Structure 1
Amino acid sequence: MDIDADLRAFLSQFVKVGELAATMRPEGSSALLADVLTEHLGRPAGEMATVTKEIVGYRFADYDVAFELLAGPDVVAIGIGGGEHRHHASLSDLVGSPWTNTPVGQVDWADVAVGADQTRRVVALGVRLFHFHDQPVAVLTRRNSRVHGNGVGVIEVLCPDSQTASDLLAEATELGTQRSVLRGNVVSLDLMGYEAEGDGYRFHARPDVPVEAVVLPEGALERVRGHVLGVAEHAETLRRYGQHLKRGILLYGPPGTGKTHTVRHLISAATHHTVILLSGQTLHYVRQASTMARHLQPAIVVLEDCDLVAMDREIGPTGQPLLFDLLDALDGLDSDTDVAFVLTTNRVDVLEEALTQRPGRVDLAVEIPPPDRAARRQLLELYRGDIGFSSEALDEVARLSDARTASFFKELIRRAVLYAAEEGVEPADAHLLTALDTLFSDQETLSRNLVSGFLDPTPGLD
């Protein structure tokens, strides 16, 4: 396009005015970010290449721990001033463009969960200045933020030597894995979090379920514990003789028989294991959970109601059916990886042969059936606690409640206590028997079935 001489001269002067305005700042205003970084790095910050790494939400605290350790006590942390663009612009844009004129500001901090009842104050947006391998480095960390549309966190490193920047990121990754805040904890992966737990994961308190609180058929609990915990106890011996450590166990039976309760006991006993819980829609994250478990071993991955996986023919996040994601997760781990997959199902009949009949995927299947009479008596003794029901009344309830499950007896005791509370007296045998009659009544059929997982036969139907 032809431009006359006068217009060309005007545009040239306009550009110079803009460049001059970008370099000027009011007297007494904050130092410019580019100037501070340049002074620390010994070279113009805008001329250096940035080494960048994206990090998912559940790893952000790990990197904060790693950089705190690598930086040491002499670290200087500075913030980034300016408007909302600082949450989106890269570090190279913040220091390299003559138009940004980004000032130093206050560090943005955030409290993130690092345990069921613990948080850690992390640098949500800021720059750490320190030396690594005798080289000056500037490390920007930016936490993922739904408010600002950032789906993942970002780490950006400036250093006169780009290889040193890459080495720093590699060492921070390794150190962050070793010192991971997830290690040894119980976590679940969430489709979406809530407030401080909005990073796609949630911590849970480790349950306290002792052996005596688990009522299963004779020998069943010992088999389950031996397969999950016994292998872990003898991991080094198994490795020395070239035996595989990864394993899978399937707990199956009707609803309410104690599968989840058994899993809670395993989690309670596996105090040194990282436990990753998946259920419902989060079963889609099985591949991600498998990767986490490999890095944080010894680990247990719990997949509740895994029959949903076998029945799901929709394409998952990896572009293949969800069942294949599960099979790949079970197959993809190295044989010496100390990871146990614990699967539960109410519908063992719908599980694929590929899932249940290939060693290395599921090595052990244990049925958790409705309790027999002796087990029902144990459950009543367990759930009554210090309530003074007589042995005769408990024996009678155990005899009459054939094919009922553990959840049925929990509800039975609760109702007996409620009836006594309504009368303003201590729970007694009469309240227990009344509660049993009520649960057995025709008016309570649906409630009874939902609580116990036991379906009464319907006349006229096969």
Structure 2
Amino acid sequence: MTPDDALAFGRTFSEFIDEVRRLAPAGPSSLITRLTEHLGTPPNELPVVASPFPLYQHANLQAALDAYLARPGRSYDLVGAAGPGRDHFSFTDVLAASGNRGMFEIGTADYTSVPVGIDAEKACVSFGIYLVSDGDHRYVVCMRLTEGRGQPGCGLDVLAPSTDLARAFLAEIQDLVREHNLFRGQVISFEKHEFGPGVGPLKFHRRPHIDAADVILPPGTLDLVHRQVLGVADHRDRLLAAGHHLKRGVLLFGPPGTGKTHTVRHLMGRLPDATIVVLTGLGLGAVREACAMARQLTPALVVLEDVDLVAEERMPGGQQNPLLFQVLNEMDGIAGDADVTFLLTTNRVDLIEPALAQRPGRVDLAVEVPHPDDDGRRRLLDLYGRNLKLTGAEADEIVAATAGATASLFSELARRAELLAATSGEASAGAAQARAALAELTASQSALSQAKPAPGRPPAPRAFG
């Protein structure tokens, strides 16, 4: 649409509204009459106090309002507003347009179904006007979906005898959003998505369950991570009584495919009551929203995967990285007595700004997740290749041939060997298929490593030697 088209549309729409107003009956609409009866004064004479929320908080806002209205001594009626183009107006505009020759009349409230978890939804008001009585106080509360700065959202618009009463009402709603938050104890991520359970940039996930025996790390490494992440949670009362903080940060670094994400998923399962907030890729830009949620929903684990994407001090061209400072500010903004863990992963620890990686209080523990040694590779082969028919000597051969390999290679090796056996009609996969699968993987990785890297980018690290 060109600017001239937009201007023409605006003129046509304005003319349409003027014509609707001309044809509308004289006098206030039934909506204004009902609100006046409830408030005891015309609503146009009262200020509207607005409280916007991001779209993903819609269900929590509804839960908070339901909890408010359910308390003793409170009652309400819920009505809607019927009229042309209502969704293009603010609540203030709806009231103004419902005065003399009113455009909007009493209608029914609109509802929408909002995801609140895996296989779970909540019916929420998308446009509705609550006529609230709380003792001697009267409120008009409009819950509606909004388009703030081009971004979909939701919010409450409150009419009350004074702005102080309206703000007190909204402050109680904010407290109830925290108290009745439907995200508590869930695993969520901030990311762009088109499919799966979620709302706006927020997506819900099932909590993974991975046994410690299935996490193959150098001896003592997992115990160290457990003590920092799980131990603080288990002994929070003792630590607080001794004057120590609970907030902690752990950085897992090492080459791609060595098991960092696998370790993260294991820790998620070991914190069954914690709220897990995952940021990765472009979702790292939502660190402010993630940390705000973590503050409200402790105990919480905030996962920043591939944190090197935002943790370089300088961006191309020498400019300072605003996302890095956002991450630092948010980590610093978590109170010391808040049971919040920051779990960071990176393939490129050399790119991490020291202000993040080398400062206790932000990152208290940095753990390398290296390529597995001989013993580690044998355990990986036993884990992923448990259905392979291998003698001890054949297993030793595979282990020796995979020096420098990552954990992910063994998962794919076992899968490919099983597929080779299936396509050739073999009852089970054995050494022949394992050797063939390893040869294919080695050839594929060799071709990738020899490919010319994109200009300005280093060559991709090899998964194995």
* Structure-1-length-normalised TM-score: 0.85
1:44-82 deviations in Å (ceiling 9; x for gaps): 222222221111122221110011111129543222211
Do the aligned residues in 1 keep the contact of 2:371 with 2:404 (CA within 8 Å)? yes
Q: How far apart are the structure 2 equivalents of 1:343 and 1:417?
A: 34
| 2:52 equivalent to 1:44 | no
Q: What is the CA–CA distance in structure 2 between the aligned matches of 1:401 and 1:330, rounded to whole Å? A: 40
Structure 1 residue 297, shift from structure 2 partner: 1.5
1:303 Cα deviation after fit: 0.9
Do residues 326 (structure 1) and 327 (structure 2) align?
yes
SS at match of 2:311: helix
> Where in structure 2 are the equivalents of 1:12-411 lying within 5 Å?
21-23=24-26, 32-72=30-70, 74-84=75-85, 86-96=86-96, 97-144=99-146, 151-191=152-192, 197-311=198-312, 313-314=314-315, 321-386=322-387, 388-411=389-412
- Distance across 2 between alignment mates of 1:33 and 1:309: 51
- How far, CA to CA, are the matches of 2:56 and 2:281 in structure 1? 20
| Distance across 2 between alignment mates of 1:362 and 1:229 | 16
Once the two structures are overlaid, the 10-residue window that deviates more, 284-293 or 353-362, is 284-293
Where 1:404 maps in the other structure, the secondary structure is: coil
| Corresponding residue SS for 1:370 | coil
Letter of the 1:93 counterpart: D
Cα deviation, 1:178-225, whole Å, max 9, x if unaligned, reads: 111221111111256669734221111111212122111111111111
Distance in 1 between the 2:288 and 2:299 partners?
Answer: 17
Q: CA deviation at 1:385?
A: 4.5
- 2:434 is matched with 432
CA distance 1:241–1:285, change in 2 (3 Å)? same
- CA contact under 8 A between 2:197 and 2:203: conserved in structure 1? no
Rg bigger for which structure? 1
User: Structure 1 stretch 320-329 or stretch 211-220: which is displaced more?
Assistant: 320-329
Asked if 2 retains the 8 angstrom alpha-carbon contact of 1:32 and 1:101, the reply is no
Q: Secondary structure at the match of 1:310?
A: coil
Partner of 1:3: none
- When residues 71 and 185 of structure 1 are mapped into structure 2, their CA distance, relative to the original with a 3 A threshold, is same
Change (3 A) 1:88 1:154: farther
Q: Tell me the distance in 1 between the aligned counterparts of 2:262 and 2:352.
A: 22
Q: Secondary structure at the match of 1:152?
A: strand
Could you tell me how far apart the structure 1 residues matched to 2:224 and 2:147 are?
45
Query: For residues 439-454 of structure 1, what are the structure 2 equivalents within 5 Å?
Result: 439-440=441-442, 442=443, 445-446=446-447, 454=462
Shift of 1:43: 2.7
Aligned length: 430
State the alpha-carbon separation in 2 of the partners of residues 453 and 424 from structure 1.
Answer: 36
Q: CA deviation at 1:172?
A: 0.9
State the AA in 1 paired with 2:105. P
In the TM superposition, residue 104 of structure 1 has moved relative to its aligned partner by 1.9
Task: Summarize the Cα distance change of 1:286–1:449 in structure 2 as closer, same or farther, 3 Å threshold.
Answer: farther
Percent identity over the alignment is 40
State the shift of 1:295 in Å.
1.7
Q: Secondary structure at the match of 2:246?
A: coil
| Structure 2 alignment gaps of length 5 or more | 1-17, 452-459
CA contact (8 A) 1:408 1:448 kept: no
Give the SS at the match of 1:80: strand
Q: For residue 346 of structure 1, report the CA deviation from its aligned partner.
A: 0.9
Letter in 2 for 1:369: P
For residues 410-460 of structure 1, the C-alpha deviation after alignment (integer angstroms, 9 at most, x for no partner) is 1101111111121233222122222123333x465236999x953677xxx
Offset at residue 161 of structure 1 (A): 4.5
By how many angstroms is 1:235 displaced? Answer: 1.6
Q: Which amino acid aligns with 1:433?
A: R
User: In angstroms, what is the RMSD of aligned CA positions?
Assistant: 2.9
Contact (CA 8 Å) 1:193, 1:201: kept in 2 or not? no
SS at match of 1:140: strand
When residues 281 and 58 of structure 1 are mapped into structure 2, their CA distance, relative to the original with a 3 A threshold, is: same
Residue of structure 2 in register with 1:12 after alignment:
none
Compared with structure 1, are the counterparts of its residues 32 and 388 closer, same or farther at alpha carbon in structure 2 (3 Å cutoff)?
farther
> How far 1:278 sits from its partner (Å)?
1.1
Tell me the amino acid that sits aligned with residue 338 of structure 1.
D
Secondary structure at the aligned position of 2:128 is classed as: strand
Q: Give the letter for the 1:59 counterpart.
A: Q
Secondary structure in 1 matching 2:185: coil
Which residue of structure 2 aligns with residue 9 of structure 1? Answer: none
Q: Which runs of 5+ in 1 are unaligned?
A: 1-14, 26-30, 458-462
Secondary structure of the corresponding residue to residue 168 of structure 1? helix
The structural deviation recorded for 1:91 is: 2.5
Q: Structure 2-normalised TM-score?
A: 0.84
